[in-house]
Structure formats: structure tokens, C-alpha cells
């Protein structure tokens, strides 16, 4: 079966195999990673190796702290303002979909939010060009979501701003090379391209640490997590371990350059097929379509149920669109092989021939 789930998403088969082999006896300890103290040298080494591999993969310099946290990307919606606002009462946000909207709603608890640009009027089908952004002079930072997982919209540019740039990269991180140095802070829930749910990655420029006010809870303070190597409290050690295996696997594949080429091919052939058919459609502006999440609709939505049932029977799992938008969505993260996309296109083509 091929798993097209948007998250928790497919994990690479070799990673799962290795985790199974090591499940009961991690590195000759006679114990599972799950049973070991996070203060144990073996686990500390495992954690440090995962961080080193991640830094290698993304080219993260020592100017950044890398944090392995909990609470999902959703917790970052509040941790970002709590840690970056300082004395400023305002932040700029760009609204390009449901995840941006959630980040904005949460930030409004803490500050005035200037929505610098939005594509809501066009059903979030494009990313507003930077020339249209109305940034404020007194914002503490600028936040955007480079890849909207639900709408399937991906920015085709990295914004140039003179404030700290913050990005929710939950569904695009590690899918291709990117210049992390252009960002002040990047966060991502793990359950797409990183590992299992329960782990959240934050990369934050060190000069931005220490801005949280005295009422910010310790667990929500980046500085405290950075000072404690993300072990201020008990971290999700097993998820951290699996993420480390995913990073090793990515390096074995040839790193993000190779992943970017494969992912580019996967997305291009699926969009080409959709565009070449009147039976299927995708509403997102070409050039800004997500390489990770491909939403599509059938011209006749009365066929949705049959499509999903038959796809499932053919081993093509989790193709249902997000409950808020309906239709279909194929998430084609790193662990989804090119053969899965070929199988999906084959199925879609056959379904069209039978039902059109
Ligand atoms: N941001 C984006 C872009 C997402 O895709 C998701 C989840 O799918 C979230 C935030 C929320 O993540 P979490 O469930 O880890 O809080």
C-alpha cells in the first residue's frame, strides 16, 4: 500500500525496518530507546548525532540554536510571539491559507497583528507578490507559511524583509535544499518529513533568544530549552531517535539536493496529469503549487466517494482532502516513492476512462 496522508505521514521503509531491529535492544544496552533516561550517555549521543545530521542536511550554522520540542507546530503559533515580540506590540503576518490563519488567530492573543498581505479573497489560490505586502515599521517580526498543507500552495520566493523572518515549514522542511540563513526562525511539526508526531523542530537565530518576558512559562521559553540542550524536561526521546534515523536515511539518499530532484519530478508528473485532464482539476496558480501536498477535485464531486473507495482498494491510502475543503489530496512527502505517484496516476487515468 502507498500512504498519501498529509500527516502523520509515511516514514521511509528502511527507517521502520531499522527501528524494528533496534526496538528491544538499542546498541547493545538490552533496552529500548523508549525505556532509557534522556540523561543516559547513549541517548545524549543519539540526540547530538541527530542534531548534527540535521545541521549538515540543512547547512545550519552555529548562529542558530536547534531545538527539539513538543506541542506541535500549533504550540509555535504562541511561542513565536511570546519569545520574539520583546517590547514591540505588533507583528506582521501574511495570510495564505488555513495554517497562516491559525497562526494569526493565536498571535492576536499577544499583540496587534498586521495582515500584510492575504489571498483569502481568491480562496488562497496564490501567494501575494512581495510588492503587494504592506509591512509595518514597528513590527517585531514577519511570519508566513511557505507551504500551506491544506490548500496545496507553496511560495515560489523567499521574502526579503528587514525584520526577523519567521516561517512555518511544517510541510516543506527537508523536501529540497533551502537557504536557512535567510530566516530568523523556522519551525516544523515532525509528522511529515521529519519523523513521528510528538516532536517539533525549531531553528532560531541565537541573537533572538532571551527576549521572552518574565511571565512566559519556562516550557514556552526558547532560551531555557536552548540552555538545556532541549532537555529541560523529558523530551520525546523515541520520536527524536526516529527523526535521527530519518536524517541518516536522507543523507544516504544523497541529501536534500537529491530529494529536491525526486520531489520535483513526482509533483510535476502529477500536476501535468491533472492539467491534461478535464476530469480532474487543481485551483492553485501554476508555479505556486505545492510539491508536497497536491489537492485535486473531480469535475463531478458525486464520484468522490467511489474514487476514494476504489483507490483504497487499490492500495492508495489516505487520499481524502482535508475535512474543511473536501475533494482529494495526495501528500507526496520524502518517504512517498516515485512509484507511488506513478501508481496513483495510473489509477486516476483508469478511473477517468471508466467514469467519464
Ligand atoms: N502548520 C502547518 C503548515 C501544518 O501542516 C500543520 C499540521 O498539519 C500545523 C501547522 C499544525 O501542526 P501540529 O499538528 O503539529 O500542531
Last residue of one domain, picked from the residues 233, 253, 273: 253
Q: Are 136 and 92 in contact (CB under 8 A)?
A: yes
74 CA: nearest ligand 1 atom:
16
- State in Å: Cα 150 to ligand 1 middle: 10
Block means of pLDDT (10 residues each) for the chain, length 356 residues?
96 98 97 97 98 98 98 98 96 98 98 98 97 98 98 98 98 97 97 98 98 97 98 98 98 98 98 97 97 97 97 98 92 98 98 95
Question: What residue's CA is closest to ligand 1, atom 9?
Answer: 73
Cell numbers for 177 = 535544499
Residues 212 and 232 in one domain: yes
Question: What residue's CA is closest to ligand 1, atom 4?
Answer: 170
CATH number of residue 40's parent domain: 3.40.640.10
Q: Are 200 and 75 in contact (CB under 8 A)?
A: yes
Catalytic: which of 92, 163, 192, 266? 192
ipTM above 0.95, yes or no: yes
- State in Å: Cα 71 to ligand 1 middle: 10
The full length of the chain comes to 356
pTM of the model: 0.98
Last residue of one domain, picked from the residues 193, 222, 253: 253
The number of domains in the chain is 2
133 is catalytic: no
Is 2 inside a domain boundary?
no
Helices 41-58 and 255-275 pack at an angle, to 10 degrees, of: 60
Residues 205 and 88 in one domain: yes
Q: Which residues are annotated as a binding site for pyridoxal 5'-phosphate?
A: 73-74, 99, 149, 168, 191, 233-234
189 CA: nearest ligand 1 atom:
15
Residues 183 and 266 in one domain: no
The residues pairing with 65 across neighbouring beta strands, listed in sequence order, are: 204
Best residue for ligand 1 mutational test, from 69, 166, 170, 290 (most atoms within 8 Å of Cβ) = 170
192 is catalytic: yes
Domain hosting residue 136, numbered range: 13-253
Residues 297 and 346 in one domain: yes
Residues 30 and 126 in one domain: yes
**Residue ranges around ligand 1 (CB below 6 Å):** 7, 72-74, 99, 145, 149, 168, 170-171, 189
CATH number of residue 284's parent domain: 3.90.1150.10
The C-alpha atoms of residue 176 and residue 179 are separated, in whole angstroms, by 10
Is 134 inside a domain boundary?
yes
The C-alpha atoms of residue 38 and residue 199 are separated, in whole angstroms, by 15
Question: What residue's CA is closest to ligand 1, atom 2?
Answer: 170
191 CA: nearest ligand 1 atom:
15
The C-alpha atoms of residue 140 and residue 348 are separated, in whole angstroms, by 47
Is 202 inside a domain boundary?
yes
For residue 67, give the 3-state DSSP assignment: strand
Residues 272 and 203 in one domain: no
The C-alpha atoms of residue 76 and residue 72 are separated, in whole angstroms, by 7
Would strands 90-95 and 142-144 be described as parallel, antiparallel, or unpaired? parallel
- State in Å: Cα 74 to ligand 1 middle: 6
Q: Which residues are annotated as a binding site for L-glutamate?
A: 39
Residues 185 and 58 in one domain: yes
Q: What is the pLDDT of residue 356?
A: 87
Catalytic: which of 53, 92, 163, 168? 168
Last residue of one domain, picked from the residues 218, 234, 253: 253
Residue with cell 527537508: 174
Q: What is the pLDDT of residue 326?
A: 87
99 is catalytic: yes
Amino acid at each position: 500500500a502507498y500512504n498519501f496522508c498529509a500527516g502523520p505521514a509515511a516514514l521511509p521503509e528502511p527507517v521502520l525496518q531499522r527501528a524494528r531491529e533496534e526496538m528491544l535492544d538499542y546498541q547493545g544496552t538490552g533496552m529500548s530507546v523508549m525505556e532509557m533516561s534522556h540523561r543516559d550517555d547513549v541517548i545524549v549521543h543519539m540526540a547530538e548525532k541527530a542534531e548534527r545530521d540535521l545541521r549538515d542536511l540543512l547547512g545550519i550554522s552555529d548562529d542558530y540554536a536547534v531545538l527539539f520540542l513538543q506541542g506541535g507546530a500549533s504550540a509555535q503559533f504562541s511561542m513565536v510571539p511570546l519569545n520574539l515580540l520583546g517590547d514591540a506590540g505588533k507583528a506582521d503576518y501574511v495570510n495564505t491559507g488555513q495554517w497562516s490563519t491559525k497562526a494569526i488567530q493565536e498571535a492576536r492573543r499577544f499583540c496587534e497583528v498586521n495582515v500584510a498581505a492575504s489571498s483569502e479573497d481568491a480562496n488562497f489560490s496564490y501567494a501575494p507578490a512581495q510588492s503587494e505586502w504592506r509591512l509595518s515599521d514597528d513590527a517585531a517580526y514577519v511570519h508566513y507559511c511557505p507551504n500551506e498543507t491544506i490548500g496545496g500552495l507553496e511560495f515560489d520566493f523567499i521574502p526579503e524583509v528587514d525584520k526577523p523572518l519567521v516561517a512555518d515549514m511544517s510541510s516543506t522542511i527537508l523536501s529540497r535544499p533551502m537557504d536557512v540563513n535567510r530566516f530568523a526562525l523556522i519551525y516544523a511539526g515532525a509528522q511529515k518529513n521529519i519523523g513521528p508526531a510528538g516532536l517539533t523542530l525549531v531553528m532560531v537565530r541565537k541573537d533572538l533568544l532571551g527576549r521572552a518576558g518574565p511571565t512566559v512559562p519556562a516550557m514556552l521559553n526558547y532560551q531555557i530549552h536552548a540552555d538545556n540542550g532541549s532537555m529541560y524536561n523529558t523530551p520525546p526521546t523515541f520520536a527524536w531517535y526516529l527523526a535521527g534515523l530519518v536524517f541518516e536515511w536522507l543523507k544516504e539518499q544523497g541529501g536534500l539536493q537529491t530529494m529536491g530532484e525526486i520531489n520535483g519530478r513526482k509533483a510535476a508528473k502529477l500536476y501535468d496529469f491533472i492539467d491534461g485532464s478535464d476530469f480532474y482539476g487543481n485551483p492553485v496558480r501554476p508555479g505556486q503549487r505545492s510539491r508536497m501536498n497536491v489537492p485535486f477535485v473531480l469535475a463531478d464531486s458525486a464520484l468522490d466517494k467511489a474514487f476514494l473507495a476504489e483507490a483504497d482498494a487499490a492500495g492508495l491510502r489516505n487520499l481524502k482532502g482535508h475535512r474543511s475543503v473536501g475533494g482529494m489530496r495526495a501528500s507526496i512527502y520524502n518517504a512517498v516513492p516515485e512509484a507511488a505517484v506513478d501508481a496513483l496516476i495510473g489509477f486516476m487515468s483508469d478511473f477517468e476512462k471508466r467514469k467519464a
